[in-house]
């Protein structure tokens, strides 16, 4: 063998070894490879799912939900009005009356409010509460444009125009129609509204303020004889120190006998007896004259009334609505009464 050939063979072998040695990974490369393997073996992170928040739904307002609150509580003392709304009273019976099949459905209705102080139980306690009441008058025209002012503290009754006491019948607009133009609406519901602002009361005389508290919705029914037309009782408020207040029935009482009883009980000074007797006789004359004039006025009103008006008066209906029983307010089911006031008398139906 030639020397050159042998040397080349060694070089080839040497080169092969070098190649093999070059192909072996170094320690650093192994470490890197090991790191890569570790990364590959790491578990995938679980996706964090955000909890779905439940959509909160609020009940839609009923179309006539605030009807009872819009009606002014006539005759309620100003400092008691806030107490009327301390409970969440439920007048769903009034709302249902305007639905198909209800007493007021499709009718022209005039509503006024009042309050009745009653001892009722709520949450285990008894308490005198101003119960709101709504009276509905079914009529083709306003039942009256006047207000009566009367109380035991006043000597005489007053019948005044509503507007003099800042009251009037105004149309009630249901919630779903309040964005419409009012003049285009033909309302079938009218409510008695008072525009006297409570903030302005401090600028009024006390007598004027008290008049609002003595107000009663007035109504004159010519076809029903007023019980007061036949009354034989007069209220006596004799001016003395202190004033003498009593009732006198001219059918059963005698002025002299009543004076003697009051003197005996030390309610009337003895030297005022004659003056008291004359005062009572004068009040009796006024009472009899008032009864006679009322009867004559009623007869005249019927004679001058049109047939259409007669039919309307004879078909008028009065409905009285109390709050229905609910967990948010006292139960008034045991204190309901058909009596409205001295002018309207009794309701045809109580709810």
Looking at the fold, whether 175 and 216 belong to one and the same domain comes out as yes
Looking at the fold, whether 351 and 309 belong to one and the same domain comes out as no
Question: Rounded to the nearest 5 degrees, what angle is found at the Cα of 220, between the Cα atoms of 320 and 285?
Answer: 125
User: What pLDDT does 5 receive?
Assistant: 46
Block residue for tokens 């909890």: 51
* Mean pLDDT (whole number) for 89-104: 92
Does a structural domain hold residue 279? yes
User: What pLDDT does 322 receive?
Assistant: 96
Looking at the fold, whether 179 and 257 belong to one and the same domain comes out as no
Q: What is the pLDDT of residues 106-122, one digit of tens each?
A: 999 999 999 999 998 88
User: What pLDDT does 222 receive?
Assistant: 80
Q: What is the pLDDT of residues 273-329, one digit of tens each?
A: 899 999 999 999 988 888 888 788 888 888 888 888 888 888 899 999 999 999 999
Looking at the fold, whether 197 and 250 belong to one and the same domain comes out as no
CA distance 15 to 22: 10
Per-residue exposure over 219-250, b if at least 16 CB sit within 10 Å of its own CB, e if not: bbbbeeebeeeeeeebebebeeeeebebebeb
Q: What is the pLDDT of residues 177-216, one digit of tens each?
A: 776 655 555 678 999 999 888 778 888 888 888 888 889 9
User: What pLDDT does 50 receive?
Assistant: 54
Q: Which residue has the higher pLDDT, 92 or 154?
A: 92
Q: What is the pLDDT of residues 5-62, one digit of tens each?
A: 444 444 444 444 444 444 455 545 554 555 544 444 555 555 565 555 565 555 667 7
Looking at the fold, whether 78 and 205 belong to one and the same domain comes out as yes
Percent of the chain predicted with pLDDT > 90 = 33
Is residue 109 within 8 A of residue 143, CB to CB? The reply is no
* Mean pLDDT (whole number) for 143-167: 83
Is residue 233 within 8 A of residue 248, CB to CB? The reply is yes
Q: Which domain holds residue 175?
A: 59-221+316-351
Does a structural domain hold residue 29? no
On the CB side of 282, how many CA atoms lie within 13 Å of its CA? 9
CATH code for the domain of 306: 3.10.20
Does a structural domain hold residue 254? yes
* Structure tokens, 246: 């009593």
Looking at the fold, whether 104 and 249 belong to one and the same domain comes out as no
Q: What are phi and psi of 292, to 5 degrees?
A: -65, -45
The pTM of the full predicted model, rounded to 2 decimals, is: 0.66
User: What pLDDT does 80 receive?
Assistant: 87
Looking at the fold, whether 119 and 244 belong to one and the same domain comes out as no
Does a structural domain hold residue 26? no
Residue 229 neighbours by CB under 8 Å, 6+ apart: 291, 294, 295, 298
User: What pLDDT does 263 receive?
Assistant: 87
User: What pLDDT does 16 receive?
Assistant: 44
């Amino acid at each position: 063998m030639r020397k050159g050939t042998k040397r080349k063979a060694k070089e080839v072998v040497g080169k092969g070894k070098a190649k093999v040695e070059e192909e072996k990974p170094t320690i650093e490369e192994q470490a890197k490879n090991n790191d890569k393997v570790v990364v590959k073996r790491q578990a995938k992170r679980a996706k964090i799912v955000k909890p779905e928040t439940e959509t909160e739904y609020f009940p839609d307002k009923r179309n006539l939900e605030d009807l009872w609150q819009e009606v002014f509580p006539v005759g309620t003392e100003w400092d008691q009005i806030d107490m009327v709304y301390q409970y969440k009273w439920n007048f769903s019976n009034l709302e249902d009356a305007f639905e198909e099949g209800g007493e007021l459905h499709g009718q022209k209705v005039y509503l006024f409010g009042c309050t009745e102080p009653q001892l009722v139980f709520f949450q285990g306690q008894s308490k005198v509460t101003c119960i709101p009441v709504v009276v509905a008058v079914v009529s083709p025209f306003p039942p009256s444009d006047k207000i009566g002012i009367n109380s035991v503290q006043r000597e005489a009754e007053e019948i005044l125009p509503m507007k003099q006491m800042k009251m009037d019948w105004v149309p009630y607009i249901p919630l779903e129609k309040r964005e419409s133009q009012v003049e285009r609406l033909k309302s079938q519901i009218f409510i008695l509204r008072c525009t006297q602002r409570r903030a302005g009361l401090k600028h009024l005389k006390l007598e004027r303020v008290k008049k609002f508290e003595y107000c009663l919705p007035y109504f004159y029914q010519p076809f029903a004889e007023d019980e007061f037309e036949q009354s034989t009782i007069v209220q006596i408020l004799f001016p003395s120190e202190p004033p003498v207040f009593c009732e006198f029935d001219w059918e059963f009482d005698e002025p002299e006998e009543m004076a003697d009883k009051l003197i005996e009980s030390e309610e009337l000074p003895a030297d005022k007896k004659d003056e008291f007797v004359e005062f009572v006789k004068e009040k009796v004359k006024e009472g009899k004259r008032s009864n006679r004039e009322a009867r004559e006025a009623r007869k005249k009103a019927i004679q001058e009334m049109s047939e259409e008006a007669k039919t309307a008066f004879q078909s008028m209906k009065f409905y009285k609505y109390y709050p229905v029983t609910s967990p948010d307010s006292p139960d008034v089911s045991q204190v309901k009464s058909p009596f409205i006031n001295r002018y309207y008398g009794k309701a045809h139906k109580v709810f």
